[in-house]
Chain A
Amino acid sequence: MSTEWDALAGRLEDRFMDAADGGDRLEAWAETDFDAFARASFGWQYELCAPYRALCDRRGITPGSIGDWRDIPAVPATAFKYFDFVSIPGGWVDVDCDAVFETSGTTRGAERRGRHVVPRGSLYRASFYHPFRLALLPDLERLPMLSLIPSPAEATASSLSCMVGMAVEEFGDGVDWLVDGEGRWRDDAFDLLGAVRRSGGPVLLLGTALSFVHLIEGVEAGDVQLPAGSRVMETGGFKGARRSIARAELYARIAAHVGVEEQRIVNEYGMTELLSQMYEPVLIEGVEAQGRHVAPPWLRVRILDPTTLEERPDGNEGLIAFFDLANLGSVNHILTEDVGVIEAGRLQLLGRATGAEPRGCSRAMDDLMAGAGRVR
Chain B
Amino acid sequence: MSDQGDLVPRVEDVVAAKARLTGARATLVARPVADIADVLGRVGERFSDPGDSVRREALKELPREAVLSAELAEAVLDGMAVDWTRERISRLLAEEFEDPRVLDGADGMNGGRRLMAFGPALCVQISSGSVPGVGVNALIRSLLVKAPTLIKPGAGDVVLTRLFVDVLQDADAELGAAVEVCHWPGSDQELTSVAIEGADLVAAYGSDASVRAVRDLLPVTTRFIPYHHRVGIGLVGREVLHGAVDEVARDVARTVAMFEHRGCVCPHVVFVERGGETLPEGFAELVSGSLEALASEWPAPADADEVGTEAAEIAQARGTVEIYEAAGAARMIHGGGANWTVVFESDLVAVPPLPGRSVRIRPVDDLTEVAAILGPAGRHLQSVGYAGAEERITGLAESLGRAGASRVVPFARVSFPPAWWLHDGKGPLETLVRWVEVE
List the interface of chain A (C-beta within 8 A of B). 51-52, 54-55, 57-58, 74-79, 81-83, 107-109, 112, 241, 306-309, 317, 319, 335, 337, 339, 353-354, 356-373, 375
Given contacts A360-B262, A360-B263, A370-B351, contact A78 B316 (CB under 8 A): yes
Task: Give bound CA distance, A64 to B228, whole Å.
Answer: 52
- Indicate if B125 sits at the interface (CB-CB under 8 A): no
Q: Using C-beta atoms within 8 Å of the partner chain, give the interface range for chain B.
A: 35 or more
Q: Which residues of the partner chain A approach B228 to less than 8 Å between Cβ atoms?
A: 361
Contact (Cβ within 8 A) A360 B351: no
Q: Nearest chain-B residue to A360 (Cβ)? A: B129
Q: Among B186, B210, B375, which residue has its beta carbon within 8 angstroms of that of A369?
A: B375
Contact (Cβ within 8 A) A82 B352: yes
What 9 A-B pairs come out closest when comparing CB atoms? Answer: A353-B312, A360-B129, A364-B353, A306-B311, A54-B326, A76-B319, A368-B377, A361-B264, A78-B316
Q: Which residues of the partner chain B approach A356 to less than 8 Å between Cβ atoms?
A: 309
Separation in Å of the A37 CB from the closest CB of chain B? 24
Cβ contacts B287-326/A at 8 Å (1 or 0 each): 0000000000000000001011101110111011011111
Known: A55-B322, A83-B320, A364-B268. 18 other contacts (CB 8 A): A51-B327, A76-B317, A76-B319, A81-B352, A83-B323, A335-B319, A357-B209, A361-B205, A361-B207, A361-B229, A362-B259, A362-B263, A362-B266, A364-B231, A369-B373, A370-B349, A372-B350, A373-B350
Task: Give bound CA distance, A153 to B325, whole Å.
Answer: 39
Q: Which residues of the partner chain A approach B322 to less than 8 Å between Cβ atoms?
A: 55, 58
- Indicate if B374 sits at the interface (CB-CB under 8 A): yes
Contact (Cβ within 8 A) B231 A359: no
Task: Give bound CA distance, A371 to B320, whole Å.
Answer: 17
Task: Give bound CA distance, A83 to B324, whole Å.
Answer: 9
Separation in Å of the B372 CB from the closest CB of chain A? 11
Q: Among A52, A335, A367, which residue has its beta carbon within 8 angstroms of that of B316?
A: A335
Cβ contacts B216-250/A at 8 Å (1 or 0 each): 00000000000111110100000000000000000
Contact (Cβ within 8 A) B259 A360: yes
- Indicate if B112 sits at the interface (CB-CB under 8 A): no
Q: Which residues of the partner chain B approach A57 to less than 8 Å between Cβ atoms?
A: 326
Task: Give bound CA distance, A212 to B360, whole Å.
Answer: 42
Separation in Å of the B416 CB from the closest CB of chain A? 15
Contact (Cβ within 8 A) A371 B263: no
Contact (Cβ within 8 A) B337 A363: no
Task: Give bound CA distance, A375 to B350, whole Å.
Answer: 10
- Indicate if B206 sits at the interface (CB-CB under 8 A): yes
- Indicate if B7 sits at the interface (CB-CB under 8 A): no
- Indicate if B92 sits at the interface (CB-CB under 8 A): no
Contact (Cβ within 8 A) B316 A107: no
Contact (Cβ within 8 A) B315 A319: yes
Q: Which residues of the partner chain B approach A370 to less than 8 Å between Cβ atoms?
A: 348-351
Separation in Å of the B180 CB from the closest CB of chain A? 23
Task: Give bound CA distance, A255 to B24, whole Å.
Answer: 51
Given contacts A76-B319, A354-B309, A365-B268, contact A359 B352 (CB under 8 A): no
- Indicate if B196 sits at the interface (CB-CB under 8 A): no
Contact (Cβ within 8 A) B156 A362: no
Q: Which residues of the partner chain A approach B264 to less than 8 Å between Cβ atoms?
A: 360-362
Interface CB pairs A-B, < 8 A, 7: A82-B352, A306-B312, A307-B311, A354-B309, A361-B128, A362-B261, A368-B375
Which chain B residues (245-276) contact chain A, with CB distance < 8 Å? 259, 261-264, 266, 268-269
Q: Among A51, A52, A357, A365, which residue has its beta carbon within 8 angstroms of that of B210?
A: A357
Q: Which residues of the partner chain B approach A78 to less than 8 Å between Cβ atoms?
A: 316-317, 319-320, 352
Q: Nearest chain-B residue to A56 (Cβ)? A: B326
Given contacts A51-B327, A109-B209, A319-B315, contact A359 B262 (CB under 8 A): yes
Task: Give bound CA distance, A260 to B325, whole Å.
Answer: 52
Q: Which residues of the partner chain B approach A241 to less than 8 Å between Cβ atoms?
A: 305
Task: Give bound CA distance, A375 to B205, whole Å.
Answer: 36
Separation in Å of the B307 CB from the closest CB of chain A? 8
Separation in Å of the B205 CB from the closest CB of chain A? 7
Q: Among A75, A77, A363, which residue has its beta carbon within 8 angstroms of that of B353?
A: A363
Q: Among A51, A77, A360, A369, which residue has its beta carbon within 8 angstroms of that of B128?
A: A360
Which chain B residues (326-369) contact chain A, with CB distance < 8 Å? 326-327, 329, 337, 348-354, 360
Contact (Cβ within 8 A) A354 B316: yes
- Indicate if B154 sits at the interface (CB-CB under 8 A): yes
Contact (Cβ within 8 A) A75 B268: no
Q: Which residues of the partner chain A approach B20 to less than 8 Å between Cβ atoms?
A: none
Q: Nearest chain-B residue to A51 (Cβ)? A: B323
Contact (Cβ within 8 A) A359 B129: yes
Contact (Cβ within 8 A) B380 A365: yes
Given contacts A82-B320, A82-B350, contact A354 B313 (CB under 8 A): yes
Q: Nearest chain-A residue to B355 (Cβ)? A: A354
Task: Give bound CA distance, A310 to B337, whole Å.
Answer: 13
Q: Nearest chain-B residue to A306 (Cβ)? A: B311
- Indicate if B40 sits at the interface (CB-CB under 8 A): no
Contact (Cβ within 8 A) B327 A54: yes
- Indicate if B130 sits at the interface (CB-CB under 8 A): yes
Q: Among B206, B305, B380, which residue has its beta carbon within 8 angstroms of that of A368?
A: B380
Q: Nearest chain-B residue to A75 (Cβ)? A: B319
- Indicate if B50 sits at the interface (CB-CB under 8 A): no
Task: Give bound CA distance, A57 to B323, whole Å.
Answer: 10
- Indicate if B5 sits at the interface (CB-CB under 8 A): no
